[in-house]
Amino acid sequence: MKRYSQDPTDPAFLQDPYTFYDQTRMEGDFFYWQDYQMACAVSHQMVHAILRDRRMGRQVPSERAPDIPPLQQPFYDIEAHSMLELEAPRHTRLRSLVLRAFTSRTISNLEPAMRQLCHDLIDTFDDGPFDLLTAFAQPVPVIIICRLLGVPEAHAPDLLRWSNAMVAMYQARRTREIEDAAAQASQEFAAFLRDYIAERRKRPGDDLISTLIAAEEAGEKLSEAELITTCILLLNAGHEATVHTLGNGVKTLLERGVTQITDAAVEEIIRYDPPLHMFTRWVYEDLEIGGHHFKRGDQIACLLGAANRDPNAYPDPNRFDPTRSGPKNASFGGGIHFCVGAPLARLELRVALQTLFERCPSLHLAGSPKYADLYHFHGLEQLLVAR
């Protein structure tokens, strides 16, 4: 397996990780990323195979469990109950309970209010240059999640602040300051939800938290800790990804003069410049895959952004084609950890982009977009536009 060194915080890499992916993919399905000390799958076929292989998973093998510093414990107390970090049987139970509340009908019923929210935000746009991320891409998903959970929208700024602080723990630029902020945010977020869950137990409403409280699987309900973590996961995973996809998508559309937003165009946006580029898996038993041997306790990274640009899966993959058809992209993951919120994300993107370009047909870039130091996420620092 060929070894490559590439600092994931390097400015040139942040602006264009795809050139590096193309280079490493020339060596086959895998390469070894020295900066992460990890084998990485880069082909579309191998990424999807690993995501579905039950000999690997998200839950840390017992012998690889890290020593957690006491100051970081509040963050990891939340992670301990996250279905994103668990395998069967706990994952099966948690996901089943969430899916009972996260139904297609619940999501589709959000569309009229979602469209109205987009109109309301567009009504506040400045005529001169403004940052579309803060004016539109950030508030749309966080307000939708507030409405879905049943949390007052007045708390959206707090949820956004807590979410950003916690998600920063997964970034390559992680520092002690980021760790402290994530621990503080975890405590504040959990305390807020604990109080709100207690209120919903007394007075259930027509919202996701009330539905999760009532849901049962084989006679078991979600514990309070599981409820808190599930709500945080739905916000953090759904919000972070949708903000980046909206920003990256509008940038791509404006650079190419595309304003027709079809379902195919939405899928191409999700494929072409996805919000999450790395999703790691632990190896649970000695195995061979793609001609390479791995041992229990090894970690393999699936590079989703690389899989989406694989020429064996997509003709001319570095070209944005809003009419493209082809295999499913890797942006929502796969296997048992396929993103629960994928239908909501697709709906948000379609409605937000359609409304934006219907209302602002002359929208154009008012500055050079620049990607932020967020890897293994991939999103813009700001998106200056004018109309």
Residue 337 CA to residue 343 CA, distance in Å, equals 14
Q: Percentage of residues in the chain with pLDDT exceeding 70?
A: 99
114: amino acid identity, one letter: M
pLDDT category at 168 given cuts 50, 70, 90 is very high
Alpha-carbon distances of 62 from 59, 96, 282, rounded to whole Å: 9, 25, 11
pTM: 0.95
First-to-last C-alpha distance (Å) of the chain: 50
pLDDT category at 76 given cuts 50, 70, 90 is very high
pLDDT category at 104 given cuts 50, 70, 90 is confident
Residue 218: the pLDDT is: 62
pLDDT category at 106 given cuts 50, 70, 90 is confident
Residue 278: the pLDDT is: 98
Domains and CATH numbers, the chain: 3-386 (1.10.630.10)
Sequence-ordered alpha helix ranges (H) in the chain = 11-15, 18-25, 44-52, 73-79, 90-101, 104-108, 111-123, 132, 139-149, 156-167, 176-202, 208-214, 224-256, 263-272, 304-307, 342-359
In the DSSP assignment, the letter for residue 329 is P
For 285-295, write each residue's pLDDT tens digit: 999 999 999 99
For 217-246, write each residue's pLDDT tens digit: 667 788 999 999 999 999 898 788 999 999
Give the mean model confidence (pLDDT) for residues 148-172: 93
pLDDT surpasses 80 at 211: yes
Alpha-carbon distances of 46 from 5, 6, 31, 221, 303, rounded to whole Å: 21, 21, 12, 37, 10
Pairing of strands 364-365, 38-41: unpaired
Pairing of strands 380-382, 299-303: unpaired
